[in-house]
Structures are given as C-alpha cells and as structure tokens.
Amino acid sequence: MRRTIVATTLLAVTGLAHAAEPIQVIEPATITNPEMVELGKKLFFEPRLSKSGFLSCNSCHNLSLGGVDILPTSIGHNWQEGPINAPTVLNAKYMLAQFWDGRAATLQEQAAGPIANPKEMALEHELALDVLRAIPGYQAEFSEVFGDKGITLDTVTEAIATFEETLVTPNSRFDQYLNGDKEALSTAEQEGYALFKSKGCAACHNGPAVGGTMYQKMGLMQPFVTSNPAQGRVDVTGKEHDRMVFKVPTLRNIELTYPYFHDGSTYDLKEAVIVMQRVQLGQELTDQEADRITDFLKTLTGEQPQITLPILPPSVAGTPKPQPFAK
Amino acid sequence: MRRTIVATTLLAVTGLAHAAEPIQVIEPATITNPEMVELGKKLFFEPRLSKSGFLSCNSCHNLSLGGVDILPTSIGHNWQEGPINAPTVLNAKYMLAQFWDGRAATLQEQAAGPIANPKEMALEHELALDVLRAIPGYQAEFSEVFGDKGITLDTVTEAIATFEETLVTPNSRFDQYLNGDKEALSTAEQEGYALFKSKGCAACHNGPAVGGTMYQKMGLMQPFVTSNPAQGRVDVTGKEHDRMVFKVPTLRNIELTYPYFHDGSTYDLKEAVIVMQRVQLGQELTDQEADRITDFLKTLTGEQPQITLPILPPSVAGTPKPQPFAK
C-alpha cells in the first residue's frame, strides 16, 4: 500500500519518464504531530532507558554518523559485544520490517527490543517505565502528548517510532538527478548507475531506500564467508530455506554507514561492491566497474536530519538509579 | 584579571546595588570564530577520538544532561569504572582550573586528558591525530580554520576548548533576579538565597559560576566519609596540606548535574545541602532551611546551550579502524 502511494507521488513529481526507474526519490518528512516527535526525540537520546544510565538509542544509531555506530558490531551493557552490525535508523520507515532478520514488523515494535535486550540496554521494560514515571518532566510531557494513556511501553515506543519516521534523508544528488537535473551526477556517476542496473544490483536494492523491500539470501551464488554466527530469518520463521536470508539493507547514505554487511566485515565500500557482485550475482566486476558503481553509491548521501539536541528532564531524588556497574 | 572584568561588567549591567552580591550573572556566549566553534563541536561529539570508536567528550559531558553523565563515576573504555564524578562542562570557562584537582590550567589543556587516558577514551594522542588526518572532511575543515597549522594536538584541543567556551547557561531565574527582576524568585527562593549567604555557603560558592573560584578542603569541619580514593590537590602539588582539597564545584544547573560531590554519593540535592553544611561549616540545618536553600539552588538552572547535532565527516577505507574490543 505504501509503495503504491510512493509510486503515485513519483509520477506526479518526475513524470512518466522515470516510472521505470527501480529507485524512487526520498520525500522530506511531513510532521503532523510535532509534540510527539519532540518527546520521541528525547526518548531516543535518553540514557536512563538503559540499566547503566549510559546507553541510548542514539549510542548505536548515532545521528551524527549516518544513524549507525560505525563499528562492526555494537557495544552493549557492560561492554558486551553485539551479535550483528547495527542497521541505520535513517530512512528505516521504508523497510518492509525491522532488524536484519525482520523480526519486528514496525518501527514501534523494534524500539522496544534493544531497551530490554540484556546484551544492549539491558533494562527490563517495567523498570524502564518506572524510571520515566518518576521523572516529573516526562510525567507532564506524556500527559500532554498522550492524555490519559500515560507512560506505557506502547506510548514510549509510539513516540520513539514517530520521531524515527522523521529521520529521512531527501535531496541527495541522486534524488536531484531522478527529479530531472541531469547535471546533478557526473558522467562517471551516471555510468555507475547504469552498471548498478545492468549488473543486477537493482534487483534487490530498489525502492526509495534502495533496499529494504525484500529478504534475500546472503551468498546466493557463492557462500558468504563470515565468522558471524547470525543465521537470519530462519530464527524467525523456523524454515530451513530462510537460513542466511536477511533483509536487503538500504544503500541510502552508504558512504556514512560503514562498516558493511551484517557482520561489518569491511570498511571499504568498493570492496563491499565487489564482494556483493561475487556472492550474490556470481560475477567479477572489473576494477573500473567497481569504481563507477562506488561513485554512484556515494551520490545516495542525502541531507541528514537537522537535530537540535534535546534537553532531558532531570531525575529527582526518588527516581530509580542507574546501575552502571551491576553485572 | 578575568574576575575584575566580570565585576566591571556587572556594575555596568546591574548598577551599584548589586556590587556586593557574591554571585554574578552569566553572560551569553560571544562567538568570534564560528568556524572554529563548529569544528570544535564536531570534535566534542567525535567517537573516533576514542580507541573504541564509541566514546566522545559528549559521552560523559552530555549536553542533553547538564553537561554530565548523571552517574556517580563515569564509564570508560571497556566499561572501566572511572575514579571520580564527571564535572559539568557547562560554564567550565569560569573555573580557575580544570578537573576536580585543578591539574589542567585551561580548557584546552583539559581536553587532551580524557582522549589518551587509558581508563577513559584510551586513544594515544598520535593515534587520534592519525585518525583525524585520514578523514578527508577533517583535512579540509582544519585547513580552513587553522591554515598551515594542520591537525595537531594543539589545534584539536584549541577547537574543542573554543567550542566549550560557548557552553554557558545565561538567563536563569536567579540571573533575572540579579538583574533587578525581584519577581523572578518566589519568597521561598529569596529566603533560600538569604540563607545561602548567611549560613556561609557563599564563602566558597561565589562568582558567576557559583563556584570554581577557589580550592577548598572537602570535610573542613568534619571528615567527609567516602569510599572514593581521590585525594585531591595533594596529587598535583605534593603538599600534605592539599590532601582532600578539591576545586569548589559550580552550583549553576545543580538541579541537572546529579549525583553530587566528587564521589557522586548522593542523587538528593537537599541531602547534599545538609551534608555540605555539616562537613564544611559544622552546622546542622533545620529541615526548612535545607528546603529553602534547595529551592534557591534550583533557580540557578539557566538556558541550556542549543546544540544542533553535528554531522561528522565519514571515514574512508584508509582511515585507521576503531578497536572496540581490544583490551
């Protein structure tokens, strides 16, 4: 349904000429509930949603860094090593589901996960809610935004998801190109885009986010060699054919969201392009082809969300204390 | 010298009536070099200045949280427990020296410390500079701001300090009161301020930052009982009379900068007031007196710096990699 709407908008904006493009423009965020967005932003930056009082959503989905932590796998409570590369929160609303294995259907469902995950923020939901309920500033703000619903897991995650839906990156040079400005891309970049389509990349990396529209086996044509133990969607569906099947990641802002792949095994975008072509499509790119595709991919860096750092409401003497060094 | 200038400004602003007040207003930041401030802001939020690629200045001096981490002691590389409560970066330019023991004379000198401290960001300075020098965006920006000086420890810390000098919190209700608006404080708060002066608090907590103008022994009249091993200025001067002597902390934004004392041993501001009166001045406050002083202290919360989150320039394939899980 959403994709239909996007396609319609696209036709209106760019005319029929681009109707056949596999990638659609990213539209700027439309904010209909600024109070909820503002509350969600606070919660996104709120370290008191972690057991330690130190980790927030922004710790691993850092909005200064393309919505990721630029680490192979994340650092969680007590410096635990995370199991998988943190996906970007930017343009996440365009994903068909959340997490690499798609185990959360929505951004709201996703938001609850890391808070309570003992390897991430490690704070049980009821304790997290106890903290927020004991902060007068949040009491007042939830009351304004949610009325009688109060501070619940549903309202907390709805606010976070509503904020995250605003985290889109429109107006990349590639979007300008899609919108008809042929000068927005150099010849090399246009060649890269042509290769991206002709070599088959766009078969999986398509839609406004240039990914996130489907699941795909990692290592479709050749095995993807990794020491990362993640098995992908088989853990969600229990079906053997979903082993090593992951959500196709977005390529929007790919220049910013290194290191690459679900195991974060390379920081080198060109190398990532070569590996993908080999293991997914069974082809070797020439050095020049890999350069051109890389050139194109860098045109997908859009305007980053302008975030005014929230000022978080203070705890009071009765607010439950963080436990940074509790195991 | 600086204090003389402040006093002169104060006379001009508020007239002779307030010349005898022990606290002076916080003036808004005057920014003369916005490019250096912007670069310094990026570096302040830059996790690649840590060995892990995860910790930045803002991790412990969080500008969403009054410039502190609201933890008793901080979390450093590999989740090491820090030795002392993180002081706020807000209004730090008014401190006579930096760190609790004053071991850094200036903000610039301070900024170098945590980067290389093995218990904090744990990245040797030369390695930190290697990282910045291998990021094209920083190469360009340092060149613009510092010309031929390039990327050195001096230019990095000068930029950070220049940003930090802008982190002031003017226009608190107490400043409005000092500037002549008697309605800005309630009767209870004015009583609290009178007690703050008459009970001796202002003997140490004075100047624009309501602290930071001197060193003082912690436990002057009665021993301050703590399990924290810090010994204060004796470690800087080697003089026995400096044992347990610390910089008097600022009380600006004290409502935000819990937990209190160099050991972060209480989250309760009223309790902190009672303990201070006891161990520093040898007096017991009545419950009501403690309430009134606490009321007054909460009027010291100023306008927090409005920070637009910086977008950090991306690493490239050749940029040295973070080592989050290296011991």
pLDDT digits (tens, 9 = 90+) for A30-66: 999 999 999 999 999 999 999 999 999 999 999 999 9
Query: How far, in Å, CA of A246 to CA of A279, rounded?
Result: 14
What are the b/e assignments for B211-224, b being 16+ CB within 10 Å?
bbbebbbbeeeeeb
pLDDT at residue B327 greater than cutoff 90: no
Please tell me whether residues A158 and A68 are part of one structural domain: yes
* List of residues 6+ apart from B77 with CB closer than 8 A: B50, B51, B52, B55, B118, B119, B120, B121, B122
Q: Specify the number of domains making up chain A.
A: 2
Please tell me whether residues B261 and B226 are part of one structural domain: yes
Instruction: Look at A14-23, B68-77, B175-184, B247-256 and tell me which has the smallest mean pLDDT.
Output: A14-23
DSSP 8-state class, residue A254:
T
pLDDT of residue A2: 44
pLDDT of residue A12: 45
Cβ B263 vs Cβ B297: under 8 Å: no
Please tell me whether residues A123 and A213 are part of one structural domain: no
Active site residues of A: 120
Q: Phi and psi of B47, rounded to 5°?
A: -70, -15
Please tell me whether residues A85 and A183 are part of one structural domain: no
Give the chain B residue nearest A66 (alpha carbons).
B311
* List of residues 6+ apart from A210 with CB closer than 8 A: A23, A250, A251, A252, A300
Distance (Å) from the alpha carbon of A281 to chain B's nearest alpha carbon: 24
DSSP 8-state class, residue B21:
-
For residue B62, the SS3 value is strand
What are the b/e assignments for B266-298, b being 16+ CB within 10 Å?
bbbbbebbbbbbbbbbeeebeeebbbbbbbbbb
Alpha carbon dihedral B1, B4, B5, B7, in 10-degree steps, equals 160
Alpha carbon dihedral A77, A215, A294, A272, in 10-degree steps, equals 60
Please tell me whether residues A194 and A85 are part of one structural domain: no
Report residue B20's pLDDT band, with 50, 70 and 90 as the boundaries: confident
Please tell me whether residues B218 and B158 are part of one structural domain: no
Tell me which of A108, A137, A164 is where a domain ends: A164
Query: How far, in Å, CA of A236 to CA of A101, rounded?
Result: 7
Could you identify the residue written with the tokens 């343009």? A91
Give the chain B residue nearest A260 (alpha carbons).
B317
Q: Does A54 touch chain B (CB under 8 A)?
A: yes
Tell me which of B164, B188, B217 is where a domain ends: B164
What's the token pair of residue B128?
Answer: 């930190």
Distance (Å) from the alpha carbon of B212 to chain A's nearest alpha carbon: 23
Among the partner residues A70, A314, A319, nearest to B53 by beta-carbon distance = A70
Alpha carbon dihedral A276, A280, A284, A286, in 10-degree steps, equals -40
Please tell me whether residues B177 and B150 are part of one structural domain: no
pLDDT digits (tens, 9 = 90+) for B108-125: 999 999 999 999 999 999
Please tell me whether residues A46 and A66 are part of one structural domain: yes
Does residue B187 lie within any of the structural domains?
A: yes
Type of residue found at A226: T
B124: left (phi over 0), alpha (psi -120 to 50) or beta: beta
Annotation: binding site of A for heme c? 57, 60-61, 77, 201, 204-205, 276
pLDDT digits (tens, 9 = 90+) for B155-199: 999 999 999 999 999 999 999 999 999 999 999 999 999 999 999
Give the chain A residue nearest B55 (alpha carbons).
A59
* List of residues 6+ apart from A31 with CB closer than 8 A: A37, A166
Taking an 8 Å cut-off on Cβ atoms, the answer to whether A322 and B78 are in contact is: no
pLDDT at residue B8 greater than cutoff 60: no
Give the chain B residue nearest A46 (alpha carbons).
B64
Is A303 exposed, middle or buried (CB count within 10 Å of its CB: 0-12, 13-18, 19+)?
middle
**R_g of chain A computed on alpha carbons:** 21
pLDDT of residue A20: 85
CATH number at residue A191: 1.10.760.10
Does residue B326 lie within any of the structural domains?
A: no
- Chain B hits for A66, Cβ within 8 Å: 314
How many residues would you count in chain A? 327
Does residue B307 lie within any of the structural domains?
A: no
DSSP 8-state class, residue A67:
T
DSSP 8-state class, residue B124:
-
Residue A235, Cβ neighbours under 10 Å: how many? 12
Percentage of residues in chain B having pLDDT higher than 90: 93
How many residues would you count in chain B? 327
pLDDT at residue B6 greater than cutoff 80: no
DSSP codes of every residue in A71-122: SSS-B-GGGPBPSSPPPP-TTGGGSSSBSTT--BSSHHHHHHHHHH-TTTT-
Does residue A134 lie within any of the structural domains?
A: yes
Taking an 8 Å cut-off on Cβ atoms, the answer to whether A69 and B53 are in contact is: yes
Cβ A27 vs Cβ A299: under 8 Å: no
pLDDT digits (tens, 9 = 90+) for B125-138: 999 999 999 999 99
What are the b/e assignments for B80-111, b being 16+ CB within 10 Å?
bebbbbbbbbbbbbbbbbbbbbbbbeebbebb
Does residue B51 lie within any of the structural domains?
A: yes
| Residue of A44, A60, A79, A166 to mutate when probing chain B, most B C-beta within 10 A | A79
Q: Which residue has the higher pLDDT, A16 or B226?
A: B226
Residue A187 domain boundaries: 2-27+170-300
Please tell me whether residues B6 and B121 are part of one structural domain: no
Report residue B326's pLDDT band, with 50, 70 and 90 as the boundaries: confident
Query: How far, in Å, CA of B59 to CA of A231, rounded?
Result: 33
Taking an 8 Å cut-off on Cβ atoms, the answer to whether B70 and A322 are in contact is: yes
Alpha carbon dihedral B86, A309, A264, A274, in 10-degree steps, equals -140
Among the partner residues A65, A311, A315, nearest to B312 by beta-carbon distance = A65
Listed in sequence order, the DSSP H helices in chain B are: 2-14, 34-44, 57-60, 107-116, 125-133, 136-146, 153-164, 173-178, 187-198, 234-237, 269-281, 287-297
What's the token pair of residue A123?
Answer: 């704070």
Distance (Å) from the alpha carbon of A40 to chain B's nearest alpha carbon: 14
Q: Does A55 touch chain B (CB under 8 A)?
A: no
Q: What is the pLDDT along chain A (327 residues), one digit of tens a residue?
A: 344 444 444 444 444 444 589 999 999 999 999 999 999 999 999 999 999 999 999 999 999 999 999 999 999 999 999 999 999 999 999 999 999 999 999 999 999 999 999 999 999 999 999 999 999 999 999 999 999 999 999 999 999 999 999 999 999 999 999 999 999 999 999 999 999 999 999 999 999 999 999 999 999 999 999 999 999 999 999 999 999 999 999 999 999 999 999 999 999 999 999 999 999 999 999 999 999 999 999 999 999 999 999 999 999 999 999 999 985
In 3-state terms chain A splits into helix, strand, coil percentages (rounded to 5) of 45, 5, 50
ω into A259 cis (within 30 of 0): yes
Q: Does B271 touch chain A (CB under 8 A)?
A: yes
Please tell me whether residues A124 and A182 are part of one structural domain: no
Distance (Å) from the alpha carbon of A293 to chain B's nearest alpha carbon: 16
Taking an 8 Å cut-off on Cβ atoms, the answer to whether B256 and A309 are in contact is: no
Please tell me whether residues B95 and B189 are part of one structural domain: no
Residue A43, Cβ neighbours under 10 Å: how many? 26
Q: Does A258 touch chain B (CB under 8 A)?
A: yes
Taking an 8 Å cut-off on Cβ atoms, the answer to whether A322 and B66 are in contact is: no
pLDDT of residue A327: 59
Tell me how many degrees the CA angle A66-A72-A75 measures, rounded to the nearest 5: 90
Does residue A306 lie within any of the structural domains?
A: no
Taking an 8 Å cut-off on Cβ atoms, the answer to whether B315 and A258 are in contact is: yes
Does residue A312 lie within any of the structural domains?
A: no
Question: What's the whole-number average pLDDT of chain B?
Answer: 94
What's the token pair of residue A138?
Answer: 């949040």
Taking an 8 Å cut-off on Cβ atoms, the answer to whether B71 and A322 are in contact is: yes
Does residue A307 lie within any of the structural domains?
A: no
A150: left (phi over 0), alpha (psi -120 to 50) or beta: left
Residue A20, Cβ neighbours under 10 Å: how many? 6
> Which long-range contacts (C-beta less than 8 Å, at least 24 apart) are formed by B14-18?
B14/B178, B14/B179, B14/B180, B15/B180, B18/B178
Please tell me whether residues B130 and B198 are part of one structural domain: no
Going from the C-alpha of B76 to that of each of A58, A254, A324, B113, B120, the distances in angstroms are 18, 29, 11, 13, 4
